[in-house]
Amino acid sequence: MIGYDELRSAFQELSLANKPVIAHASLQPFGYIQNGADTVLNALVDSVKSLIMPTFTYKTMITPEVGPPNNGITYGGDGDLNKMAQPFTYDMPADPMMGVLPETLRNHPSAKRTSHPILSFAGIGADMILGAQTLYEPLAPIAALADEDGWVVLINVDHTVNTSIHYGEKLSGRKQFVRWALMENRVVECPNFPGDSSGFEAIAAYIQPDTRRVELGEAFIQVIPLKRLLEAVQEQIKLDPLALLCQREDCERCNALRNT
Ligand SMILES: [Zn+2]
């Protein structure tokens, strides 16, 4: 059984005490954790300068009947899903797809959360970083984190959930998308919406020399300096404009990039 002490010493081994970080996590590989997700969150918060995590809320999303072309989306015909959409509220839980840790962070008494209706972030001790986000620049917290020598922390997950790679795509000039969300009683346009992340693990080989990793039995934690990650993403897209896209034939966003 794993507890605070094991997690704390694993995080300490990664030397992030004076670094702001963005974390992504799956807790299942840890097996039973004494006091659950709170223990992981506390061990992480105690081992870094500040922490943010995505607390995205996809159930706010609306698909309109028409919209801009080549936008990686099928317009219309999504009426049933639109009917199930819920307006964003500040206390809307993070999508369950993101795992339990973002929701644990969001519920922490010291945590703050941004108000982007789809791509919100929560954080502790990271007010300036969170404050960078606007409706127009949803990934601005990643930029602010990079400016402060931030690191990416991946707990039992690979780069397919590494949100920061989306910011590297944007820096490289890769096309961004438009999406729509319910907010109170209106539909809000959300520009600069990122592409699909299922091909992102291809970056691992290029940043391996800059990646620190600890293992705890079946579980692992890997960390990468954000600036280096963003450089590597831009290098790869410069070499191959289709780098980091997935191979699914029916992937609307990757296909939209292939057709750009
Ligand atoms: Zn794709």
pLDDT attached to residue 62: 95
Q: Give the residue ranges of DSSP H helices in 108-201.
A: 127-131, 140-147, 164-171
Give backbone dihedrals phi and psi of 61, rounded to 5 degrees, phi first: -75, 140
Measured in Å, residue 18 CA sits from the centre of ligand 1 at 35
The Å distance, Cα 91 to ligand 1 centre, comes to 30
CA 160 – ligand 1 centroid, Å = 11
Question: Which of 188, 47, 27, 24 has the alpha carbon at shortest distance from 121?
Answer: 24
**What spacing in Å lies between the alpha carbon of 61 and ligand 1's midpoint?**
19
Per residue in 181-216, pLDDT tens? 999 889 999 999 999 999 999 999 999 999 999 999
Distance 247 CA to ligand 1 centre (A): 6
Ligand 1 centre distance from Cα of residue 185 (Å): 32
Ligand 1 midpoint to CA 175 (Å):
14
Q: How far is the CA of 230 from the centre of ligand 1 (A)?
A: 19
Q: Which residues of 165-192 are buried (b: 16+ CB within 10 A; e: fewer)?
A: bbbbbbbbebebbebbbbbeeebbebeb
pLDDT surpasses 70 at 29:
yes
Separation in Å, CA 162 to CA 34, 43, 144, 180, 198: 27, 21, 16, 23, 10
Amino acid type, 78: D
The number of residues in the chain equals 260
Residues contacting 106, CB < 8 A, separation 6+? 55, 93, 94, 113, 122
Q: For the CA atoms of 17, 22, 24, 29, what is the dihedral angle to 10 degrees?
A: 0
Find the 245 Cα to ligand 1 centroid distance in Å. 6
Helix (H) or strand (E) holding 6: helix 4-13
Mean pLDDT score, 97-123 = 97
> What is the whole-number distance in angstroms between the Cα of residue 116 and the centre of ligand 1?
23
220-235 pLDDT per residue, tens: 999 999 999 999 999 9
Please count the other Cβ atoms lying within 10 Å of the Cβ belonging to residue 86: 12
256 C-alpha to ligand 1 centroid (Å): 9
Percent of the chain, pLDDT > 70? 100
Distance from the alpha carbon of residue 177 to the mean position of ligand 1, in angstroms? 13
In the predicted model, is pLDDT for residue 78 greater than 70? no
